[in-house]
């Protein structure tokens, strides 16, 4: 109808589909109009529920705002208070430990399982489905289950370990200062490795089998094949998955909150927990909590930028 003018088959198409080079015509104005109108619902809704509260939160960070009381303007006081608070740096350190160990182990474990599932064997179908379970269970469900399982007095894990003679006395997984963080990391790994496994399984499927056969002919062993064929092929997927998981793990709140509440003392207090404490526990200063979030934000933005760059680069390669 009105688009019959585009008969030469070349239109201003999406740039990511780099096969065709766009030719701008009067079409372009329509494109812009259409583009904005398609995007409008998303922008409007997000402006309402995200942007405005976000701006309000940033403004809040310049005030002292106890719950229920009126706000008093304190300019940068919240920021300076946070940066000199040793608990903040402790929380930052805890977050680093939590994220680094979680991600590394999730990666290795997820990859190992994906590799193991990559070949046929009886029960493979069941295993591939079962691997989904920790990811699919709601966070609270899983955490409640683990609190009960790990209980130091009547928990099943202690009973099992004692039954096998591995321990003499009950282990207090969630309240022993030395064990709390490893335990919380372990639960996070349990919940998170399926994400790696699933994405890597799909990635492994796309590797050309011929490559392996060629390598076999050249006398390569398993390790060579893995290192020189498998790993490079899945590296793009691995990178994206890792970055995404890192962002999620850094923001992780509910798991630690339900399991230990940040304790004992501040052994498992990560930055999100620290923020919540400042907002709602006895300290109760919403402005301070907002400032903490603003401080953390650049870190998250950095990770997102890296993620987007990697994804964009891959799309260009594939074009």
- 147-166 residues in contact with another protein (CB under 8 A) are 148-149, 151-156, 159
Instruction: Out of 76, 167, 301, 302, name the contact with another protein by CB under 8 A.
Output: 301
Q: Under the criterion CB under 8 A, does residue 67 sit at the interface with another protein?
A: yes
Q: Locate all alpha helices (DSSP H) within the chain, ordered by sequence.
A: 27-46, 52-60, 77-84, 86-116, 124-130, 133-136, 139-149, 156-163, 180-205, 209-217, 222-225, 231-251, 254-259, 271-280, 286-318
300 binds another protein (CB under 8 A): yes
User: Is residue 81 involved in binding another protein (CB under 8 A)?
Assistant: no
- Residue 298 contacts another protein per CB under 8 A: no
Residue 80 is a binding residue for another protein (CB under 8 A): no
Token pair, residue 28, equals 């372009």
**How far is 97 from 74, CA to CA, in rounded Å?**
33
Q: Is 272 in the site for another protein (CB under 8 A)?
A: yes
The answer to the question of residue 264 lying near another protein (CB under 8 A) is: yes
Task: Give least dist CB 112 to another protein, A.
Answer: 7
Determine, following the binding rule CB under 8 A, whether residue 212 of this chain makes contact with another protein: no
Q: Is 165 left (phi over 0), alpha (psi -120 to 50) or beta?
A: left
Would you say 21 or 210 has its CB closer to another protein?
Answer: 21
Stretch of 78-86, 94-102, 223-231, 268-276 contacting another protein, by CB under 8 A: 268-276
Of 58 and 101, the one with the shorter C-beta distance to another protein is: 58
Per CB under 8 A, does 99 bind another protein?
no
203 binds another protein (CB under 8 A): yes
- Angle, helix 271-280 to helix 86-116, in steps of 10 degrees: 140
Does residue 142 belong to the site contacting another protein (CB under 8 A)?
A: yes
Residue 172 near another protein by CB under 8 A: yes
Q: Does 167 bind another protein (CB under 8 A)?
A: no
Per rule CB under 8 A, is residue 77 in the interface with another protein? Answer: no
Cα(302)–Cα(193) distance, integer angstroms: 24
* φ/ψ (deg, to 5) at 73: -75, 130
* 217 forms part of the interface with another protein (CB under 8 A): no
- Please report whether residue 6 would count as binding another protein according to CB under 8 A: yes
Does residue number 241 form part of the binding site for another protein (CB under 8 A)?
A: yes
- Nearest-CA neighbor of 272 among 245, 254, 298, 291? 254
User: Are the C-beta atoms of residues 190 and 142 closer than 8 Å to each other?
Assistant: yes
Nearer to another protein, 4 or 210 (CB): 4
- Choice between 212 and 248, CB closer to another protein: 248
Token pair 């064990």 is found at: 179
Question: For residues 254 and 261, what is the distance between their CA atoms, to the nearest angstrom?
Answer: 9
Distance, CA of 253 to CA of 98 (rounded, Å)? 12
Binding to another protein in span 108-127, by CB under 8 A = 112-113, 116-117, 119, 121, 127
- Contact status: 226 vs another protein (CB under 8 A): no
| Selected binder of another protein within 96, 104, 167, 202 (CB under 8 A) | 202
Does position 84 bind another protein by CB under 8 A? no
Instruction: Give the shortest CB-266-to-another protein separation in angstroms.
Output: 8
Cα distance between residue 317 and residue 22, in whole Å: 19
Which residues lie below 8 Å from residue 236, measured CB to CB, with a gap of 6+?
310, 314
Closest to 87 in 3D by CA, of 260, 252, 270, 251? 270
Give me the least distance between CB of 86 and another protein, in Å please.
11
């Amino acid at each position: 109808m009105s688009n019959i003018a585009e008969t030469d088959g070349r239109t201003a198409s999406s740039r990511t589909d780099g096969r065709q080079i766009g030719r701008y015509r009067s079409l372009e104005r329509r494109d812009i109009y259409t583009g904005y109108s398609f995007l409008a619902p998303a922008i409007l809704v997000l402006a309402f529920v995200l942007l405005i509260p976000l701006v309000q939160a940033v403004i809040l960070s310049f005030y002292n705002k106890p719950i229920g009381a009126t706000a008093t303007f304190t300019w940068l006081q919240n920021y300076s208070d946070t940066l000199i608070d040793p608990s903040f740096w402790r929380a930052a350190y805890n977050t680093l430990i939590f994220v680094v160990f979680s991600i590394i182990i999730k990666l290795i474990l997820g990859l190992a399982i994906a590799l193991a599932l990559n070949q046929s064997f009886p029960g493979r179908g069941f295993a591939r489905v079962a691997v989904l379970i920790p990811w699919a269970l709601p966070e609270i469900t899983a955490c409640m289950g683990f609190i009960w399982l790990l209980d130091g007095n009547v928990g099943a894990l202690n009973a099992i370990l004692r039954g096998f003679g591995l321990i003499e006395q009950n282990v207090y997984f969630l309240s022993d200062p030395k064990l709390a963080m490893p335990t919380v990391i372990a639960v996070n790994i349990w919940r998170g490795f399926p994400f790696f496994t699933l994405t890597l399984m799909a990635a492994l499927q796309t590797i050309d089998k011929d490559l392996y056969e060629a390598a076999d002919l050249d006398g390569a062993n398993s390790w060579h094949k893995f290192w020189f064929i498998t790993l490079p092929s899945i590296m793009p997927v691995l990178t994206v998955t890792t970055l995404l998981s890192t962002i999620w793990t850094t923001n992780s709140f509910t798991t630690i909150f339900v399991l230990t509440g940040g304790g004992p003392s501040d052994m498992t207090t990560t930055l999100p927990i620290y923020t919540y404490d400042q907002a709602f526990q006895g300290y109760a200063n919403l402005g301070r909590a907002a400032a903490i979030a603003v401080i953390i934000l650049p870190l998250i933005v950095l990770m997102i930028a890296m993620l987007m760059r990697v994804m964009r680069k891959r799309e260009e390669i594939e074009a």
